[in-house]
Chain A
Amino acid sequence: MVSIALKVNGNAVTGDVDDRMLLVEFLRNDLNLTGTHVGCDTSQCGACVVHVDGEAMKSCSMLAVQADGAEVLTIEGLAVDGKLHPVQAAFQEHHGLQCGFCTPGMIMTSVDMIRRIPDLDDATIRSELEGNICRCTGYQNIVTAVKAASDEMKG
């Protein structure tokens, strides 16, 4: 067991975690932040993507102890005062989801992508989403939503 202290969605949190506990398990089981999903056991699906110190990470490919001292942002922390983040709003507007299982990871990846790349075209969006798998939508509406959000956030 190790004691860790970090910031999650702006709040200081502490925990005593098993050395081999994954960050995603800590978020879901200890903090009850179940918006971050687990869709595979091979770090392939991307349903678990969160931001650690501002960068998109698969929270199943990192130990909870490795997030000691870090700032973590999960899907629950995106909306401010009940107002959806522009990427969340665009997914809603453009039907970027069906069952919604992949959506938290898709959105966290998209927010990171829009931050890093100023001019997103469809091909870039598709290649940037390579680490996020969706079994429902066929991706088309996800790409449309990311493009719309990117255009809107540019102003």
Chain B
Amino acid sequence: MRYESPTTIKEVVGLLKKERGKAFVLAGGTDLLVGMKLGMIEPDLLVDIKHIPAMRTVKTSKTGFRIGAAVSCAELGEHKAMKKAWPGVVEAANLIGSDQVQGRCTVVGNLCNASPAADSVPALIAAGAKAVIVGADGRRTIAVENIATGPGKTCLKKGEVIEAITLPNQTKTSGDAYLRFTPRTEMDIAVVGVGINLTLEKGLVSKARVVLGAVAPTAITVPEAAEALIGTKVDKKALENLAAACSAACRPIDDKRGSAEYRTRIAGVMAVRAAKIAFKRAGSAA
């Protein structure tokens, strides 16, 4: 196996394209190196992206945020403007692993590892995040929900690398939240994750996005759950409808962390809690 640490994106694409064997992008390595230790992944080439200056920064502009693919979750958690605009996204990113893992792991790695339980993914989708992909044929931008196609699978073609994640600006009357349920309080894999982003108009929900993690092969957007909230003040009835819609959308697995039945029920419970937080944030941001 060969290790390369180029300093430009162009070199990354060149290296990935030229490699005949199995080539992997190395971001924080917190999934990849574990997979290698366990003998589940046997790369011929690792291309480290932590030395590419353009991928190491969070940029703010008139249109929103651009998070470089090599920005660690700890760095994201220290970014004041991100925390203010997208607290749910930042909280989700900061749930990944312990402090020592936070210093290395990235949200793009979380996304590309394509675990159904990846914590940052539902929050990113709820926020309307997009991924900027670079390959030999140039750049393309696609919605984060279209990246993972199944457990461990993404739509990235050979030689493609995600350069950054973009997020829109959050409006004054919007708020997001992410909650997960795990059997242990720390360092565990989500049994259910819920990302919600709400926008209010005259005190009523005018736009909503509700995304569930860990209850299907990929994170899923639940339009019926969003509809349950739209036009309401997130009152008791709306929350009941939200919970029912979330549970109805679940197609979970049974495993030692939770049975399918349990996951289905908990998805509704967690959605209610997350919606209350998002609603409060949307109201108080004004």
A interface list, Cβ under 8 A from B: 2, 19-20, 22, 41-44, 46, 49, 55-58, 60-63, 65-66, 109, 112-113, 127-128, 130-132
Contacts and interface: CB of A to CB of B under 8 A. Distances in A.
Contacts of B98: 46, 130-132
B99 A56 contact: yes
Interface residues of B, number: 24
Nearest to B72: A55
Nearest to A128: B99
10 contacts: A2-B3, A19-B2, A19-B3, A41-B37, A43-B33, A43-B34, A55-B103, A61-B33, A63-B3, A131-B101
A132 B100 CA distance: 9
A49 B100 contact: yes
Contacts of A42: 34, 37-38
A19 B1 contact: yes
Contacts of B3: 2, 19-20, 63, 65
Contacts of B2: 19
Contacts of A66: 5, 29, 48, 50
B7 interface: no
A58 B100 contact: yes
A2 B187 CA distance: 34
A60 B187 contact: no
B36 to A, nearest CB: 7
Interface string B238-252: 000000000000000
B30 interface: yes
A99 to B, nearest CB: 21
A4 to B, nearest CB: 11
